[in-house]
Amino acid sequence: MKRAAEIALLVVIWLAIAAIGAWLFNRWRKRSIDDSNGPPEKLAITGLMVLLAWAGLSLGPFAPFVVVFCAVILSLTWTGDISEFISAKFLGMTHGGGDHTPHPHYSLAQGKRARGQTAAAIAEVQTQLAQFPNDFEGRMLLAAIHAEDRRDLAAAHEIVHDLLAKPDHSPNNIAIALNTLADWQLKYAKDTAAAAASFRGIIERCPDSLAAFRAAQRLARLDPAADPDEAADAGTFLSDCIKQLTRHPLDNATREQLARAYFERHSDLTTAQAELEKLIATPHQMPKDIARWLQWLADWQAHEGDDAASRGTLGRIIGLFPNTALADEAQIKLTRRGHREQA
C-alpha cells in the first residue's frame, strides 16, 4: 500500500513537470524576438526544477546528478536578477561619495539592452525618467533603443524633439542630440532630407558656435550640388564652386577646391590667396587645416618666384602655432630653403 502511494505521488509529480514544461515551451514558441524571460517563466522554471529534484530523489544513485542538473538550471535562470539586485544595492550605498543628491542610474537598463531585452530596458529607463523626467542621458538612451535596436525612427525622432523642446539645453547637448538623430536618419532610413533638417536645427539653435560650424560642413556634403566635378572644364568648375559657396559659404572642401583651381588652372595667385585667407579667417578652423592652407600658399608663392613672400608665409605658421609640430615642420622647410640658397 505504501509503495502504491509513492508511485502515485511520483506520477503526479511527473505529470506536473510535463504540464509546466509544455506551458514553458508554448510561451517560448509564441514569444517575439524582443521579449525576455519574465517573472512568470522564471517562476515556472523554478517550480519545474524543484519538482524534478524532488522526483529525482527517488532515483537512488542517480539522484545527485538530477539535483545538480536542477541547481545549474536554477543558477542560470536567476543569476542575472540576483547580480542586478546586488549591483543596485551597491550603487545605492556607494552612490555619489559624499554627494547625496539623487541621480538616475542606467546600468541595469544598459545590461538588459546588451542582452537583447529591449522591452525590459525601456521599462527600466522609464522607471528612472519617472523620477528624473528631463534627464538628457536617459532620454537619449531611450531614443537610441528605439532607433538602433527596434528600428523605430519615428519614436526616436519624437523623443529627441520632445527633449529639445524643453528649455535650458546647452549647445553641446543640442548638437549631440541632433547629430545623433541625423546619423540614425542617414544610416537606417537613408533620408538625407531629414538629416539635413537636423543639421539646420543645430545651426539655427547654436549660431556662431563650433557645433554650428561642423553642422554646416555636414550639411554641405548632403547638398546634391556639393562636390563640383573637378573633371569639368575650368570655367564650368569655377562656376560650380561659386554656386556651391553661395548656398553653403562655410563649405571648407569647396572653397579649398576653388582656391586650388584659381592657382592651378588659371595661374591667378592673388585670387587663390584670397580664398585661402577666407578659410583661415573663418572661426573654429582646426590648427592643422590652417597650417596646411598656409603651406599651400607658401608653395605657390615659391613656384611664382616670390621667395620672400613664401618665407613670410612659413613664418606665419611658426608665429600662429609656436612650439608645436606644425611650427617645427614649417621651420624645417625654411631651413632647407636656406641651405639650398647658400649652395
Residues 6 or more apart whose Cβ sits within 8 Å of residue 147 = 153, 155, 156, 184, 188
pLDDT value at residue 305: 93
- Grade residue 235 by pLDDT with cuts at 50, 70 and 90: confident
Contacts of 192 (CB under 8 A, 6+ apart): 186, 222
Model confidence pLDDT, tens digit, residues 167-222: 888 899 999 999 999 999 999 999 999 999 999 999 999 999 999 999 999 999 99
Residue-by-residue DSSP string for 230-279 = TTS-HHHHHHHHHHHHHH-TT-HHHHHHHHHHHHHTT--HHHHHHHHHHH
Any idea where the domains of the chain sit in the sequence? 134-222, 286-343
Q: What is the mean pLDDT of residues 28-53?
A: 59
Decide yes or no: CATH 1.25.40.10 for domain 134-222: yes
Summarize pLDDT for 77-88 with one digit per residue, the tens.
Answer: 666 666 655 655
In this prediction the pTM is 0.67
| Nearest Cα residue to 175 out of 148, 205, 195 | 205
Q: 301, 313 in Cβ contact below 8 A?
A: yes
